A and B are shown apart, each in its own frame.
Chain A
Amino acid sequence: MVLKEIRLHGRGGQGAVTSTQVLAIAAFYDGMYSQAFPNFGVERTGAPVESYVRIDKKPINLRQHVYDPDYVIVLDSSLLDTVDVTSGMQKDGIIIVNTDKTEAELKKKLPGFNVHAIDITKIALEVIGKPFVNVAALGAFCALSKDVSLKALDKAIDELFTARGKAAIAQLNKKAAKAVADKCK
């Protein structure tokens, strides 16, 4: 595996930063080196935020922001109207969007990219009972990229949420991530 770069777009309060931290820990459990970091602003709830992950089989020295992502994950489809989520994106790169729209509708909006429309909010509401999409969205990443395993993702979810005293939400997040991954098969 060569260096893979992931850019996550979300809104303040959606847990985009936590999500990338979980993914970095998961990649580590799959025996890879990883790095997660936010593009930190003084974000208020609802403002657009970006957070990044790098995964490689070698130690990662690069410290610049992610400009040319291999993968983009969009937690809130309303961001498509205000943020260029395809910026720097490779043509064969994968874009995962949390949306209730169809893939065909989404492709019209993001022509030329490998886009995947998944209603992660709906799954989160069913499984968790709340619109917590940040960790659930990683299920789609694991299923579509195959760069990180669901098993490692489960382990990472347990580790991070247990450390923060939220073991119950860890269980629900794992279930939601699995449900999202299944939807992508």
Chain B
Amino acid sequence: MTKRVIEASHAIAIGAKLTRPDVIPMYPITPQTHVVEDLAQFINNGEMKCAMIDVESEHSAASAFLGSIAAGSRTFTATSSQGLLLMYEVLPIVSGMRLPGVMAVANRAVSAPISIWNDHSDAVSARDQGWIQLWVESSQEALDTVIQGVKISEDKGVMLPLMVCFDGFTLSHVFEQVDVPDQKTVDKFLPKFSLKHKLDIKNPKTFGPIGFPNSYMYFKKQQQDAMITSLDVIKKVNKDFKKSFGRSYGSGLLDLYKMGDADYAVLGMGTLCGTARVTIDKLRKQGKKVGMIKVRSLRPFPEKELQVAVKNLKALAVIDRHISLGQEGPLVTDVRSAIYCNDLTVNGYIAGLGGMDITVKLFEKVFSDLEKGKQNGSWLFD
């Protein structure tokens, strides 16, 4: 392990390198660009033995990702915003074919109006496409989650692609301290990639053929079963990671902060959880019993664990950095559905769209709403 101050994007590139991918299709897009630039540099310097495919679009990046995994290669890629939207057609094909691989998503708003800044619209809107989604808060967690992600994704009981979602700019362009694991420890932690069924010219097989009405639904049931299985795998990999590297992130699914005796709590994903921690420390000094639930795994959604986490709360505020237009924030919908038996007050807030800052002040307002017994959330403009 070596401690260094590096950019989060660089940390992700190092994380990917440590997993020894065979292939990386890459197509740059702001604010993901530094990730693929750094990987290209590693390959150019000879620090990394890996085939780089310089594709002409994100649709091709996703297609090459699919093809190279199907051929039995460990594969990594990264994208953001409109790039992820261009990949959309391919996303459910990768998961439907049960091809494991990790993609980092530098979360950015989607157009129009054009915004290069952070919110969660890109990946959250892709949550139904059969990919596991892990959301990270810091550069360290980003690096570590790429390594964890490969192990989760390739687990024989899971075999699903996985997105590591990290906030564009708000995290991607931050320089901060990162403890970089050494290659030997990562090699010990990660088994070699092997596929039972792969593309092989000596033993031809068809992948992704038609599923007739009498079979298609069985495939979907198997994918859902694999997602449910992955709940335990994510937890186990997070635990094993701690044994090897000395760090872990909550249960792997949820990360709870000062929830033990909390009356009021906020729930969210990504970097906003860091600012929530600071707010909670401040309010705790004033004697307020407040806490935070960080959702690390959006898919699969840890319903049972959440039910336990909110058991003693008086009210909960869910902060969505995305809106399902015509409804509400998707995260608050998931939370309400998970705890519908509980008569807990759950307020949904929309915040931080298109890079609007999420501040301590905003969290103070949210906690004050909860204390006052307000029954509705709102849009939080800074």
- Interface of A with B (CB < 8 Å)? 20-21, 24-25, 28, 33-38, 40, 42, 59-65, 67
Given contacts A24-B5, A28-B177, A37-B174, contact A64 B357 (CB under 8 A): yes
Q: Any chain A CB within 8 A of the CB of B170?
A: yes
Other than A35-B175, A37-B169, give 10 A-B pairs with Cβ distance below 8 A: A28-B5, A34-B175, A59-B177, A61-B274, A62-B274, A62-B275, A63-B272, A64-B357, A64-B358, A64-B360
A62 touches B360 (CB 8 A): yes
A60 touches B176 (CB 8 A): yes
Q: Any chain A CB within 8 A of the CB of B278?
A: yes
C-alpha spacing A21/B358, complex, angstroms: 23
A38 touches B277 (CB 8 A): no
A34 touches B173 (CB 8 A): no
A64 touches B275 (CB 8 A): yes
The B240-274 residues at the A interface (CB cut-off 8 A) are 271-272, 274
* Closest CB in chain B relative to A6 CB, distance in Å: 13
Q: Any chain A CB within 8 A of the CB of B135?
A: no
Residues of A within 8 A of B360 (CB): 62, 64
- The contact of B174 among A28, A33, A35, A42, by CB within 8 Å, is A35
A64 touches B359 (CB 8 A): yes
A40 touches B176 (CB 8 A): no
B278 touches A33 (CB 8 A): no
A36 touches B174 (CB 8 A): yes
Residues of B within 8 A of A20 (CB): 175
Residues of B within 8 A of A40 (CB): 31, 116-117, 169, 173
* Closest CB in chain B relative to A42 CB, distance in Å: 7
Residues of B within 8 A of A33 (CB): 176-177
Residues of A within 8 A of B117 (CB): 40
C-alpha spacing A118/B275, complex, angstroms: 35
* Closest CB in chain A relative to B276 CB, distance in Å: 9
Residues of A within 8 A of B5 (CB): 24-25, 28, 34
- Interface of B with A (CB < 8 Å)? 3-5, 7, 31, 116-117, 169-171, 173-177, 271-272, 274-275, 277-278, 357-360
Q: Which chain B residue shows the least CB distance to A27?
A: B5
B275 touches A61 (CB 8 A): yes
C-alpha spacing A24/B175, complex, angstroms: 7
- The contact of A24 among B176, B271, B272, B274, by CB within 8 Å, is B176
Q: 12 A-B pairs, CB-CB below 8 angstroms?
A: A24-B5, A34-B175, A35-B174, A35-B175, A35-B176, A36-B176, A37-B170, A37-B173, A38-B169, A40-B173, A61-B275, A61-B278
Q: Which chain A residue shows the least CB distance to B278?
A: A62
B175 touches A36 (CB 8 A): yes
Residues of B within 8 A of A24 (CB): 5, 175-176
* Closest CB in chain A relative to B136 CB, distance in Å: 12
C-alpha spacing A6/B117, complex, angstroms: 22
Q: Which of B7, B175, B272, B357 has the most CB of A within 10 A?
A: B175
* Closest CB in chain A relative to B8 CB, distance in Å: 9
B357 touches A65 (CB 8 A): yes
Q: Which of B3, B174, B272, B357 has the most CB of A within 10 A?
A: B174
Residues of A within 8 A of B3 (CB): 28
* Closest CB in chain A relative to B152 CB, distance in Å: 25
Q: Which of A24, A25, A62, A63 has the most CB of B within 10 A?
A: A63
* Closest CB in chain A relative to B232 CB, distance in Å: 29
Residues of A within 8 A of B177 (CB): 28, 33-34, 59
* Closest CB in chain A relative to B46 CB, distance in Å: 16
Residues of B within 8 A of A28 (CB): 3-5, 177
C-alpha spacing A168/B7, complex, angstroms: 23
Q: Which chain B residue shows the least CB distance to A52?
A: B174
C-alpha spacing A35/B137, complex, angstroms: 14
Q: Which chain B residue shows the least CB distance to A24?
A: B175
B357 touches A25 (CB 8 A): no
Residues of A within 8 A of B176 (CB): 24, 33-36, 60
Residues of B within 8 A of A59 (CB): 177
* Closest CB in chain A relative to B287 CB, distance in Å: 21
Residues of A within 8 A of B169 (CB): 37-38, 40
* Closest CB in chain A relative to B116 CB, distance in Å: 7
B357 touches A37 (CB 8 A): no
Q: Which chain B residue shows the least CB distance to A21?
A: B175
- The contact of B271 among A34, A63, A65, by CB within 8 Å, is A63
Residues of A within 8 A of B170 (CB): 37, 63
Given contacts A63-B170, A64-B357, A64-B359, contact A37 B271 (CB under 8 A): no
- The contact of B173 among A25, A38, A42, A65, by CB within 8 Å, is A38
